[in-house]
Amino acid sequence: DAKTTQPTSMDCAEGRAANLPCNHSTISGNEYVYWYRQIHSQGPQYIIHGLKNNETNEMASLIITEDRKSSTLILPHATLRDTAVYYCIVRVAYNFNKFYFGSGTKLNVKP
Amino acid sequence: GAVVSQHPSWVICKSGTSVKIECRSLDFQATTMFWYRQFPKQSLMLMATSNEGSKATYEQGVEKDKFLINHASLTLSTLTVTSAHPEDSSFYICSARDQAVEQFFGPGTRLTVL
């Protein structure tokens, strides 16, 4: 599975959009981009995933560049409850669905 | 989304004893479950893949005789930490895959070995 690179931490003001970047320059054509988040002392929570096209759901939007070498997770209106570690994971869909977590980005939403 | 539970949510045990952690998929059948370990301020580390009705597959460096995994049914996988020692103290998290591509995680079990 392709390796991902994320900033260690980011700050965001409450109510503003949080844009979390992820680099995956070695991604293959059949690898998906997944985003999960982990609030302190809880299990990871699924946010969104995509292959090529941009995706949006009730939680967030996922923007994947045309060359698929990077992506951005957007939380449109961050709240204090969005403070968490956000993980960007790239993997092949049929690889027994194994997830290998990187170090993630700690998002601090501040009032 | 689908719900995965773990029991217990936390456990404290003496060094040398064995501890069993249960992972259940509550509203779906999971042919495959996964076990992770997470030390403080670190990311999740995949330990093993648990397949219903067959032996678990362990990641490199994980001792299969120390971390016994049983996946006896489509809704239950268990992780037994045998002869636990203080260095086994960690946050253990399971996940389960349904028929879709998403993977759902349990709330985790905090193990403290004295």
DSSP B58-71: EPTT--TTTEEEEE
Q: What is the distance between the alpha carbons of residues B106 and A7, in angstroms, rounded to a whole number?
A: 26
Percentage with pLDDT > 90 across chain A: 77
A43–B105 C-beta distance less than 8 A: yes
Coil, strand, or helix at residue B86? helix
B34–A98 C-beta distance less than 8 A: yes
Å between A78 CA and nearest CA of chain B: 22
Please give the residue of chain B at the shortest CA–CA distance from A86: B43
Q: What is the distance between the alpha carbons of residues B55 and A66, in angstroms, rounded to a whole number?
A: 41
Alpha carbons within 13 angstroms on the beta-carbon side of residue B27 total: 4
Q: pLDDT at residue B98 above 80?
A: no
Q: Which two tokens stand for residue A60?
A: 């967030």
User: Which of A41, A93, A98 is facing B101, going by the closest CB pair?
Assistant: A93
User: Which of B6, B45, B103 is facing A97, going by the closest CB pair?
Assistant: B103
CB A5, CB A103: distance < 8 Å: no
A87–B107 C-beta distance less than 8 A: no
Buried b or exposed e, range B24-42, using 16+ CB within 10 angstroms = bbeebebbbbbbbbbeeee
Share the mean pLDDT of chain A: 92
pLDDT at A85: 97
Å between A15 CA and nearest CA of chain B: 26
Q: Write the pLDDT tens digit of every residue in A7-51.
A: 999 999 999 999 999 999 999 888 899 999 999 889 999 999 999
* Residues in chain A closer than 8 A to B108 (CB atoms): 41-43
Q: What is the distance between the alpha carbons of residues B113 and A27, in angstroms, rounded to a whole number?
A: 40
Peptide bond between residue B40 and the one before it cis (omega within 30 degrees of 0): no
pLDDT at B100: 65
Chains A, B: CB pairs < 8 Å: 53
Q: What is the distance between the alpha carbons of residues A56 and A53, in angstroms, rounded to a whole number?
A: 10
CB A84, CB A75: distance < 8 Å: no
Q: Write the pLDDT tens digit of every residue in B39-68.
A: 998 999 999 998 888 889 999 999 999 999
Neighbours of B94 (CB within 10 A): 30
